[in-house]
Amino acid sequence: MGGNLPSTLAAFAAALAVLIVVHEYGHYVVARLCGVKVLRFSVGFGRPLWTWRRGPDRTEWVLAAFPFGGYVKMLDEREGEVPAAEAHRSFNRQSLGRRSLIVAAGPAANFLLAIVLYWLLFMQGVTELRPVLGAPSPNSPAAHAAVAEGELVRAVSGKVVATWSEVRWEAMRLTLDGRPIELEVINPRGEIAFRRLATAGLDPAALEGDVLRPLGLKLFRPLLKPVIGSVVADGPAARAGIRVGDEVVVIGGRPVRDWSEVAGRIREAGDRPLDIELSREGHRLEVAVTPVMVEEQGRRFGRIGIGVREDPAAFEAMRVVVSYGPLDSAARALRLTWETSALTLRMMGRLLTGELSWKNISGPVTIADYAGQSARLGADHFLRFLALISISLGVLNLLPVPVLDGGHLLYYFAELLKGGPLSERAMEIGQQIGLSLLFLLMAFALYNDINRLVSG
């Protein structure tokens, strides 16, 4: 996070506030519609920091000290004495159907938020990368399918796509199913061709990073001149005297033609010293730089702290703005929310069966980092992040784990089968199991967060 810590924390706080308020407001609205009296609406847990009362029932609205969650407290005879005149407004006096609706309303509100956000984004238009393919990795499914650099993807297994993110999404879904990926492409000569990528032999661990990498699918990147556009202060390059505007001519005794060769050779060098020949204002000079080793997604490579001078025209040609009408946007928003929910459940299932590593679970630090990054990229990126996290929160809360909304729905299903409520002892045991499972999940998430911070 570094120097972006204030903006990261602000973005995380905003995301938390929206998600918690929407979720709890879902419970609140449906409870009121069902005639249940709401005593307290709390954002956060623990000691109240700010309290005020409003509404005909003088509901207590609270902002509490611990912000990771919230709750709606309703009138309930199991939690205290209730005046006879208001007994009919107690939660426990409601029918099984009404109680189920009130509990399910929180996750439903999260799904509705995602649908609304996606609908707005699809209508206003989002800037994406065009799905132009780069040269595939050697011996990859893409290479075996004869994918060629410069081909534009028109459809993935019959589904028309307009952006690179859509290609990535469809490839992930098909890879999870173990189904082949059928690409309909237009080559640089304007000819339509079809490429079939096999996915059955891929290691399930391939899904833990970028699913397109093991497939060999790469985004086309315009050739950029090897001119340095940024130098990290006090990094290896800065200490060696490299400046913004220098053009890299030779690295390790071999000439370079574009920036990808510069980046590739620095990565390959690891922490071995490199001799770099530069062109500066018409003069040649040589510097010696020792890269530092960094690790990302389990891979270690060298880095010297430089960035390329971007070519705005080249990158503009790779961008496309996609937008749709109100009805089409609504249909796309519904479909994307449904597909994302289903994919989230499937990934959770693979975690439980051991097909995916538990290292994929992210905690509050990682989520905060993503919130900050998306906010810095622009409002549309932040809203997409918010929609995705809202879906994840909705799915998580529907899991049949006691203390979650899904656990309460599980109790009600058992009550339906049994013909009466479960015993207090059974519910107490369920609560203990649920709390243990949540504690275990939080421990894994925090461990992964700390591990990511330590490994950089």
C-alpha closest to that of 318 among 158, 150, 193: 150
How many CB atoms neighbour CB 58 within 10 A?
9
Q: Based on DSSP, count helices (H) and strands (E) in the chain, helices before strands.
A: 13, 16
278, β-bridge pairs:
248, 285
Among 24, 151, 170, 184, the one annotated catalytic:
24
Q: Is 24 a catalytic residue?
A: yes
Domains, the chain: 228-309 (2.30.42.10)
Return the amino acid letter for 116: V
The tokens 């109680």 sit on which residue? 99
Question: Per DSSP, which regions of 361-456 are E strands?
Answer: none
Q: What string of pLDDT tens digits covers the 456 residues of the chain?
A: 544 678 888 888 899 899 999 999 999 999 999 999 999 999 988 888 899 998 888 999 999 988 888 999 999 988 888 888 889 999 999 999 999 999 999 999 999 999 999 999 999 988 888 999 999 988 889 999 999 999 999 999 999 999 998 998 898 888 887 889 999 999 988 899 999 998 877 765 555 556 788 888 999 887 788 899 999 888 899 999 999 999 999 998 899 988 888 988 998 888 889 899 999 988 999 999 999 887 765 567 888 999 888 777 777 778 888 889 999 999 999 999 999 999 888 878 877 776 666 666 777 777 787 788 888 888 888 999 999 999 999 999 998 888 889 998 998 998 898 888 877 788 788 878 877 877 777 776 776 666 665 554
Sign of CA dihedral 307, 309, 312, 314: negative
Determine the Cα–Cα distance for residues 63 and 269; give it in Å rounded to an integer: 53
SS3 317: coil
Residue 305 DSSP symbol: S
